[in-house]
Amino acid sequence: MCARMAGRTAAGPRGPYGPWLCLLVALALDVVRVDCGQAPLDPVYLPAALELLDAPEHFRVQQVGHYPPANSSLSSRSETFLLLQPWPRAQPLLRASYPPFATQQVVPPRVTEPHQRPVPWDVRAVSVEAAVTPAEPHARVLFHLKGQDWPPGSGSLPCARLHATHPAGTAHQACRFQPSLGACVVELELPSHWFSQASTTRAELAYTLEPAAEGPGGCGSGEENDPGEQALPVGGVELRPADPPQYQEVPLDEAVTLRVPDMPVRPGQLFSATLLLRHNFTASLLTLRIKVKKGLHVTAARPAQPTLWTAKLDRFKGSKHHTTLITCHRAGLTEPDSSSPLELSEFLWVDFVVENSTGGGVAVTRPVTWQLEYPGQAPEAEKDKMVWEILVSERDIRALIPLAKAEELVNTAPLTGVPQHVPVRLVTVDGGGALVEVTEHVGCESANTQVLQVSEACDAVFVAGKESRGARGVRVDFWWRRLRASLRLTVWAPLLPLRIELTDTTLEQVRGWRVPGPAEGPAEPAAEASDEAERRARGCHLQYQRAGVRFLAPFAAHPLDGGRRLTHLLGPDWLLDVSHLVAPHARVLDSRVASLEGGRVLVGREPGVTSIEVRSPLSDSILGEQALAVTDDKVSVLELRVQPVMGISLTLSRGTAHPGEVTATCWAQSALPAPKQEVALSLWLSFSDHTVAPAELYDRRDLGLSVSAEEPGAILPAEEQGAQLGVVVSGAGAEGLPLHVALHPPEPCRRGRHRVPLASGTAWLGLPPASTPAPALPSSPAWSPPATEATMGGEQQVAGSVGGNIGVRGKFERAEEEARKEETEAREEEEEEEEEMVPAPQHVTELELGMYALLGIFCVAIFIFLVNGVVFVLRYQRKEPPDSATDPTSPQPHNWVWLGTDQEELSRQLDRQSPGPPKGEGSCPCESGGGGEAPTLGPGPPGGTTSSSSTLARKEAGGRRKRVEFVTFAPAPPAQPPEEPVGAPAVQSILVAGEEDIRWVCEDMGLKDPEELRNYMERIRGSS
């Protein structure tokens, strides 16, 4: 076809659009040539098992419409895995096995950035301070190994080295990860000359991981190491000239405001609280009552302006509280101020001191109650009090940081009904770099409960299955005392419905493949043991095709702002294989039609239409559905595709779409076998409906497989390995050894001593000879090589040697003779099988009922139409014809309409005129007198009634006109003259035309001489 299309374009089109048209045709032909030259690839692969070991959470992933991948073949297989949980303790292994061969490799470390080298640890770095000052010149960074808990004494944990880069230089400091948190803090002191007195500068922070070493802290000096491009970024820290004070302001009433420090205080530390007055304050006396618990004392009260105010301090001690009364008097007049009356100015300083002991080093809070009193104040106003809590701790706590084992969560709870948890720990970072876990008096809250929830104890975040969305960067807030912190996670949610992929959606019966059915009836007695084989053969039925089933789902994260643009995990064309999660919840709707074995193999049972559905374990909703059909149509096994396996090779590579993406590719080794080499054979069945299936889909007991070689004693049966066939090869020549594999029904269902194989295939151990092709099988499918044979049909394997002293040619001749006999026997047995087959009961579905009802309606409509037609015909046959003639049996007159020109009418009338001498010599009938009547060109029928006939013609001057003539054929009278034939209709035509019309017709014809007109009419008669 391609050649014909190319030949048709040899003559290119011409014109202004010719070159462009030629270009389009050439491009189309190029595409057609590609389609003609490349046949679609069959979805075959090496059915080796690929599995991850020591990986906490992982999924198989695939691209839409690309399974198996393009690089898969009979001898290779490729799979892509997604590892979600990090593996800091031990890197996972990927194992490839095809019994009895297996191999494994360590998964390469993940790559966090494209240009960086892989690192074997998944580290989270958190900067504690956003800015530093010359008074506190320490930059602190917490490093956390995500993934799991660490037992005490783990000696394989690495060191993290922090690198600070500034235009003025660089600085380095390291820390070693400590169990059981798997975290450490680097406290790096920045040099003083990095700080500027006039402006704020910035230093960039990065880190590297290195093995632990002997020495202080367990890490090396690292002075000679230059991080270069291998350092992982942490962020930046600002270097400010001075640290702005941290305080908060609380109004005590409309005119007085309290300013207190907003930071934890240390035991023995002295700190002050400040009272602020508005400029429009006019009272001259003010009393401040302060009530504190034990462990906190008020040491002094100092007016900010001693010339304007005086302060008197009185202390009262109680059993639980100490009360301090500060009385303030206005000492002088306030100088006029041009500032706003609502502005605040410092009025009084109150000094506090904390006792040295806080009780075991645990941070505590010390409440302080403030109350203002004025002279003549109402009693109910004295109830207005303000309580301020001071956080007192023996440690210099700098920050509160939540540590999560994972920052990414794939929400599979809607598919399985099992909640998923991510443990969270809260730790505090001290000034010296110490880490302390916090477990009490902790609060937490999720910012979006439709995406992620948090436990009541604040020790885990989780999804329970009722969450409807996913999101990137969803926030969970934690607080402890006066410290607050946030944790951001990414949650991927499944997009429903699930995609259920079947390797074949229509399962058909396999011609000639009979398998044993369930035993029925009582056991046979020992006397009838001779009929046992026949009884078992009659209990067999045809095998239905089987299909592989996989359940897939895309996972995505919704935007936090409520938009519609989704972010897909790995990409919009990637799907996660969730078969291992939803297989327990999948079922076939009609179990009589098909069944699901192991959640992965679909088995046909009897003809019908049904579907596979997955129901939610949390509700009765359907998560996914796929229709399928089982028919009693017959398909044949065309061939066996055989791949010898003498070993497994494995390669691993990292992907770029996600840090946890790993692609594994394994190959089957099929080199020249060594003596006593064990060989496994991978089999694929190719059916006549253009589908293929691996032998692993079928039950081992239903496969009758035999392997034969031309050389006697070349192969021996090996130990049975599931559905795979294994042999032991004694050795092969330099050019390789061909193995012939045949598929038979199982032994109980074979009829006769010999049986035609359902299909066969050939595999070469080693390279086939280059000069001569491999020995081809004869055209007859009944041929079976009479050589060393190893069979496997669900029973014990048998090996033998047949025809060892016969040459190759003799073998083939004998094989052809046996093939003819076996083909004849097979044909007879096939006929018996067709007769013995009992049609399976048909189950009428709702769709079929609807189609039958519609067909019945159509039949009723056709019947009504036919009855109506018959009634119509009978009704009009009973009607009497109109009385238009004397004889009722005479035919009815018909009216005819003639369209033509005057010339044609004149020719017709002259043709009917009887011949006679002209009226005058040299006179033309067309030139008769204008005042006379028009001559009668045809006599009417004598003795008959004249029918009503008329002809209407009009002419306009200067043009040719058409005539419309109405002619009525009247029935002929009973008596006819002898010259007229009996029953011929009499035609009477009246031509209404004047002399001018007739003359115009004659002139138009060019006939002015009567003789010429007469000769013309005679010629017309002769031609008619």
Measured from the Cβ of residue 699, the count of other Cβ atoms closer than 10 Å reads 15
What pLDDT digit, counting tens, does each position of 428-462 carry? 998 888 899 998 889 999 999 999 999 999 999 99
Residues 815, 786 contacting (CB under 8 angstroms): yes
Q: Where in the chain is the domain with CATH 2.60.40.680?
A: 264-331+341-390
Nearest Cα neighbor of 86 from 408, 338, 396, 371 is 408
Give just the sign of the alpha carbon dihedral 58, 59, 63, 67: positive
pLDDT of residue 284: 87
Task: Report the distance separating Cα 942 and Cα 973, nearest Å.
Answer: 10
Residues 85-109, mean pLDDT to the nearest whole number: 82
Task: Report the distance separating Cα 746 and Cα 749, nearest Å.
Answer: 6
Which residue, chain included where needed, has tokens 């500060």? 326
Give just the sign of the alpha carbon dihedral 993, 994, 996, 1001: positive
Residues 236-265, mean pLDDT to the nearest whole number: 85
Give the pTM: 0.66
Tell me which of 471 and 1022 has the higher pLDDT.
Answer: 471
The 3 state secondary structure assigned to 283-347 is: CCEEEEEEEEECCEEEEEEEECCCCCEEEEEEEEECCCEEEEEEEEEECCCCCCCCCCCCCEEEE
Task: Report the distance separating Cα 240 and Cα 666, nearest Å.
Answer: 58
Q: Where in the chain is the domain with CATH 2.60.40.1930?
A: 121-214+228-237
Task: Report the distance separating Cα 154 and Cα 769, nearest Å.
Answer: 59
How does DSSP classify residue 924? -
The answer, yes or no, to whether residue 548 has pLDDT greater than 70, is: yes
Q: Say how many Å lie between the first and final Cα of the chain, rounded.
A: 55
Q: Provide the residue type at 640 as one letter.
A: L
pLDDT of residue 145: 86
Nearest Cα neighbor of 687 from 620, 719, 640 is 640
Look at 346-360, 695-709, 950-964 and tell me which has the smallest mean pLDDT.
950-964
The answer, yes or no, to whether residue 470 has pLDDT greater than 90, is: yes
CATH superfamily of 121-214+228-237: Macroglobulin (MG2) domain (2.60.40.1930)
Residues 1011-1022, mean pLDDT to the nearest whole number: 72
Residue 171: pLDDT band (50, 70, 90) is: very high
Two tokens, residue 970? 């009247």
Q: What is the CATH number of domain 264-331+341-390?
A: 2.60.40.680
The answer, yes or no, to whether residue 921 has pLDDT greater than 50, is: no
Residue 568: pLDDT band (50, 70, 90) is: very high
The answer, yes or no, to whether residue 29 has pLDDT greater than 50, is: no
Residue 962: pLDDT band (50, 70, 90) is: very low
pLDDT of residue 659: 81
- Torsional class of 569: left (φ above 0), alpha (ψ -120 to 50), beta (otherwise): beta
Collect all residues with Cβ–Cβ distance below 8 Å to 191 and sequence separation of at least 6.
137, 168, 169, 171
Which residue, chain included where needed, has tokens 């014109």? 15
| DSSP of 93-122 | EEEEEETTEEEEEEPPPB-SSTTSPPBS--
Q: Strand locations in 393-539, DSSP E? A: 397-404, 408-410, 420-430, 435-438, 442-446, 453-454, 460-463, 471-480, 483-494, 499-502, 506-516
Give just the sign of the alpha carbon dihedral 616, 620, 624, 630: positive
- Give whole-number Cα distances, 11 to 1, 30, 33, 511, in Å: 18, 17, 19, 51
Nearest Cα neighbor of 169 from 145, 203, 219, 127 is 203
Task: Report the distance separating Cα 836 and Cα 825, nearest Å.
Answer: 16
Between β-strands 296-303 and 608-615, what pairing exists: parallel, antiparallel or unpaired? unpaired
Which residue, chain included where needed, has tokens 């009582």? 522
Residue 140: pLDDT band (50, 70, 90) is: very high
Residue 84: pLDDT band (50, 70, 90) is: confident
Task: Report the distance separating Cα 346 and Cα 601, nearest Å.
Answer: 82
| DSSP of 869-909 | HHHHHHHHHSSPPP--SSSTTSPPPEEEEEEEEHHHHHHHH
Look at 32-46, 328-342, 367-381, 628-642 and tell me which has the smallest mean pLDDT.
32-46
3 state SS of 829: helix
Task: Report the distance separating Cα 649 and Cα 101, nearest Å.
Answer: 10
pLDDT of residue 926: 37
Q: Provide the residue type at 172 as one letter.
A: H
Report for 106-120, 510-524, 816-830, 900-914: range of highest mean pLDDT = 510-524
Collect all residues with Cβ–Cβ distance below 8 Å to 384 and sequence separation of at least 6.
253, 371, 372
CA–centroid distance for 807 within its chain: 58
pLDDT of residue 537: 57
Judging by beta carbons within 10 Å of its beta carbon (0-12, 13-18, 19+), is residue 683 exposed, middle or buried?
Answer: buried
Residues 122, 86 contacting (CB under 8 angstroms): yes
Residues 669-697, mean pLDDT to the nearest whole number: 87
Look at 30-34, 90-94, 160-164 and tell me which has the smallest mean pLDDT.
30-34
pLDDT of residue 786: 34
Collect all residues with Cβ–Cβ distance below 8 Å to 909 and sequence separation of at least 6.
937, 938, 989, 991
Q: What is the mean pLDDT of the chain?
A: 75
Nearest Cα neighbor of 459 from 500, 404, 505, 530 is 404
